[in-house]
Amino acid sequence: MSKNIILIATWGDPKRWESVRYKMFKIPSELKYTLESMTEEQYFENKSTTSALARCIFEKKCIDDYSDLKIIVIVSETLVNPDKIDGQGTDLLRMIRDSVSDNIKVYIKSDDYFGEKLYDKVDLIVAPGIGFIEAEGVEFRCNIDNYITYVFKELIEKTVFVNYIPDYILLDISHGINYMPVATLNIIKEFADIIALMKQVLNVEDKSVGVIVVNSDPYIPSREASRGDYAKDKPVLNIGTVLIDKLDAKNIIQRVYEEIYSYNYEKIRFKYSRKPKDVKFRESLESTLKEHIDSAKMIVRWLRQGLLL
């Protein structure tokens, strides 16, 4: 059975990336905990692991068959050119994201990356940035929770909300500002759970979701230059696997049940009850929270007894 594949990647600034040859792997039709080697070694010359993988899948050299390929590239607002920004509030935020998006799309469309054939399959997420551009005196004051919440929301909107349910989730963490691959890996775990549960709701035949996390060898220009004439023999970087997993809807549902049953109202109450200054508001909040927890546990009991479909 052919598969829907979504390839998700974090990117930094592609401005200085060099073209290398990436050695590919075979994605098996039935996901196992080890990826198959190519019967013939396949190399794709590109400036990014992500676009090399996309081309390999698109040409059906990494996988025998697939139904559809969707690509999502996540970049940071910190890639903005401050000279092109003039605004404040929500207008400023929109201008920053539009500026970064326009800049990155130039690379995406280039033959050094995805090219014309794959350009329309690529969606871009410009995520909240963390950091300080010293030369320009620009500071980005978001925190990691802002990044996680925004990226998760965008992934759901670009898949579930448009009825795109992938069978395989490939995450490329070869690029990206240091915190981005780590945070995105945590997001993907939750995202994969949602996809598996959606498959259960839609009652599709295969209710599992494959997750493959990949990372390429590091590219070190000074080391590569010492190996000889770069122009004649571009370096080869292997793409290795960081994680291979297969998630099943039934196991996820059971885990959700157990998590809901483990909720302890007193602990939640202790954690949050001191924050609101208004006592009446606090008491109302606590009462509502307790009702929701009790309702959630009741729904779990009904589901386990088959009283809800």
Q: Could you read off the pLDDT of 55-82 as tens digits, one per residue?
A: 999 988 888 778 899 999 999 988 887 7
Looking at residue 275, its pLDDT comes to 53
Looking at residue 53, its pLDDT comes to 93
If you average pLDDT over residues 111-127, what whole number do you get?
94
Percentage of the chain modeled with pLDDT above 70: 72
Give me the residue spans of the domains in the chain.
Answer: 3-248, 263-304
Looking at residue 308, its pLDDT comes to 47
Looking at residue 223, its pLDDT comes to 54
Looking at residue 92, its pLDDT comes to 77
3-state helix, strand, coil in the chain (%, to 5): 45, 25, 30
Looking at residue 136, its pLDDT comes to 58
Structure-token pair, residue 82: 């401050």
* Residue indicated by tokens 């390429």: 216
Residue pair 184/151 in contact (Cβ under 8 Å)? The answer is yes
Phi, psi of 270 (to 5 degrees): -65, -35
Looking at residue 166, its pLDDT comes to 92
Looking at residue 208, its pLDDT comes to 86
236 vs 302: which has the higher pLDDT: 236
| H or E, element range at 266 | helix 265-272
Cβ within 8 Å of residue 26, ≥6 positions away: 35, 36, 37, 38, 39, 62, 63
Q: Which of 90-104, 136-150, 151-165, 267-281 has the lowest mean pLDDT?
A: 267-281
Looking at residue 231, its pLDDT comes to 43
Looking at residue 245, its pLDDT comes to 86
- Please list the residues that pair with 137 across neighbouring strands: none
Phi, psi of 132 (to 5 degrees): -140, 120
Q: Which of 157-171, 179-193, 225-239 has the lowest mean pLDDT?
A: 225-239
Residue 196 backbone zone (phi > 0: left; psi -120 to 50: alpha; other: beta):
alpha
Q: What is the pLDDT of residues 187-208, one digit of tens each?
A: 998 899 889 888 887 888 888 8
245 vs 281: which has the higher pLDDT: 245
Class of CATH domain 3-248: alpha beta
* CA separation for the pair 247, 253 (Å, rounded): 11
* Maximum CA extent, the chain: 75
pTM of the model: 0.80
Residue pair 122/74 in contact (Cβ under 8 Å)? The answer is no
263 vs 214: which has the higher pLDDT: 214
Q: Which of 21-30, 123-132, 184-193, 215-224 has the lowest mean pLDDT?
A: 215-224
* Cβ neighbours around 126 below 10 Å, total: 23
49 vs 27: which has the higher pLDDT: 49
If you average pLDDT over residues 118-129, what whole number do you get?
94
Query: pLDDT confidence of 34, banded at 50, 70, 90?
Result: low
